[in-house]
Amino acid sequence: QFTLEELPVLPLAETFALTAAYNADSFPDKVNLGQGVYRDEACRPWVLPSVRAAEEVLHNQNANHEYLPITGDKQFNDKARELMFSPKLAKNPNIRTVQTVAGTGANNLAALFCAHHIKPKNVFISDPTWDNHYLIWKTAGPEITQKLYPYYNASARSFDFDGMIAALEAGEENDVVVLHPCAHNPTGFDPSQEQWKKIAEVIGRKRLFVVFDSAYQGFASGDPDADAWAIRYFYSTFFGALSDSQTNPPTGMLVCQSFSKNFGLYGERIGALHLISPQSVAAEGAYTHLIRLIRAVISCPSLFGARVVNTILSDADLTAQWGEDVKTMALRIQGVRASLRAELEKINIKGDWSHIEQQIGMFSYTGLSKAQVERLKDVHHIYMLGNGRMSLSGLNESNVGYVARAIKDVVD
């Protein structure tokens, strides 16, 4: 028997709690390096010019507000799939796409689908990872054991390739492995193409089920095709036209796609989930089960974000503008990495800070301890995650010196 009052009070999820604490702080030079959101040079939210232009187009269309199909907006799904897999691969019938409530909704649907229909014994999740992965898999599949695969070598401040491979070697057929295709959150370290090939080989040989979580396509390198490389490699190797010659394909693959960061559509909650089956498998039934789960959770997805993305990706000029927009964001973050490192070295901070520039994507995994992060907040009004993850777009020319001096203060 259960009573309401027995439930303990839980803390708010860390990024949201940090934003609230930052907003409540009246210190004039406070700095927000918590939530993973892009900020412009003035540290303000940035509406992408391509998105503004699409809003204009949509405004003049006077569209209605009817329900979408359960699977979402077909044109949006087609464009999302082309962006993720390339127009050529996206034509293959063994990739089926549904619209989701952003990347979180895609991850949640993927986990629900696995829990209900794949029924793995274990799910392999990277250590560390986006903290919601743990919660999503715990709530969607409480009976699935979470196994953490090593990802980060703290002493070398690098990707722990050997640790990851050794952990995956212990996987059992149909176990799920969750992978970040680019701009790993929070570490900012991605496998090289050679390392991805080895990871794929192990996953295929062990006959695992793959879930890719793509939240930063285009945002990492500035080139959406380059950032999709790992996903396209897995697809072509295991599930593409040649897959019949493959003796060891994974048992299936799901790809979660978020448009929050790369289109700056955070609050619009737009994403997609792609279900990929081996060519030899008739997966129509699996697709209908995915649809049934969507029906239970959201009935059907929402309109606006799908319309914005579809408007951009259906128009050559707007697509070109969007290409410029993602480059703008990626380049600014790369510039911020260089200037933070330069500021730290200028003031002779102890230790090696080259990892800031070696990492890629929205974050720097600084290596600062929980106590140092606490001190940054309490003494210097600088807000970042307790694991030392810093969201770099909160830095600009005017505050990077202040932040560097504060870091030196807590490190020395």
Residue from 18, 53, 84, 102 binding ligand PMP (CB under 6 A): 102
Options 69-77, 96-104, 238-246, 314-322: segment touching ligand PMP (CB under 6 A) = 96-104
**Residue 130: active-site member:** yes
Residue 108 sits in the site that holds ligand PMP (CB under 6 A): no
Q: Which two three-digit tokens encode residue 85? A: 């897999």
**Distant-in-sequence, close-in-space partners of 366: CB < 8 Å, separation ≥ 6:** 356, 384, 388, 389, 390, 407
Query: Rounded to 5, what percent of the chain is helix, strand, coil?
Result: 50, 15, 35
**Distant-in-sequence, close-in-space partners of 14: CB < 8 Å, separation ≥ 6:** 131, 385, 386
Query: What mask, x for binding ligand PMP by CB under 6 A, covers residues 182 to 221?
Result: ---x---------------------------x-x------
Backbone phi, psi, residue 75, to 5°: -65, -40
Q: Considering only residues 123-142, where is the footprint of ligand PMP by CB under 6 A?
A: 130
Residue 271 sits in the site that holds ligand PMP (CB under 6 A): yes
Nearest approach in angstroms of CB 259 to ligand PMP is: 7
Query: What mask, x for binding ligand PMP by CB under 6 A, covers residues 139 to 178?
Result: ----------------------------------------
Nearest approach in angstroms of CB 282 to ligand PMP is: 30
Alpha carbon distance 106, 265 (integer Å)? 15
Alpha carbon distance 56, 53 (integer Å)? 5
Nearest approach in angstroms of CB 293 to ligand PMP is: 17
Nearest approach in angstroms of CB 118 to ligand PMP is: 20
Alpha carbon distance 33, 31 (integer Å)? 6
Burial state string for 81-118 with b = 16 or more CB within 10 A and e = fewer than 16: bbbbbbeebbeeebbbbbbbbbbbbbbbbbbbbbbeeb
Alpha carbon distance 367, 356 (integer Å)? 10
Residue 252 sits in the site that holds ligand PMP (CB under 6 A): no
For 348, which DSSP code? T
Options 100-108, 169-177, 223-231, 317-325: segment touching ligand PMP (CB under 6 A) = 100-108
Q: Which two three-digit tokens encode residue 120? A: 């793995």
Options 1-9, 99-107, 149-157, 296-304: segment touching ligand PMP (CB under 6 A) = 99-107
Q: How many residues contact ligand PMP, by CB under 6 A? A: 14
**Residue 121: active-site member:** no
Options 98-106, 115-123, 300-308, 344-352: segment touching ligand PMP (CB under 6 A) = 98-106
Answer whether 70's CB lies under 8 Å from 294's CB. Answer: yes
Q: Which two three-digit tokens encode residue 15? A: 């990024």
Concatenating the DSSP letter of every residue in 191-209 gives --HHHHHHHHHHHHHTT-E
Q: Which two three-digit tokens encode residue 86? A: 């390339």
**Residue 353: active-site member:** no
Alpha carbon distance 161, 302 (integer Å)? 39
The residue from 79, 147, 206, 261 that is catalytic is 261
Options 5-13, 47-55, 258-266, 282-290: segment touching ligand PMP (CB under 6 A) = 258-266
Residue 103 sits in the site that holds ligand PMP (CB under 6 A): yes
The residue from 73, 160, 190, 213 that is catalytic is 213
Query: What mask, x for binding ligand PMP by CB under 6 A, covers residues 326 to 365?
Result: ----------------------------------------
Residue 72 sits in the site that holds ligand PMP (CB under 6 A): no
Output the CA–CA distances (angstroms, integers) from residue 372 to 173, 238, 291, 369, 387, in the order listed: 42, 45, 47, 5, 10
Options 73-81, 97-105, 287-295, 341-349: segment touching ligand PMP (CB under 6 A) = 97-105
Q: Tell me whether residue 77 or residue 107 sits nearer to ligand PMP (CB atom).
A: 107
Single-letter residue type at 161: F
Enumerate the active-site residues.
Answer: 130, 213, 261
Site residues for ligand PMP per CB under 6 A: 36, 102-104, 107, 130, 180, 185, 213, 215, 258, 260, 266, 271
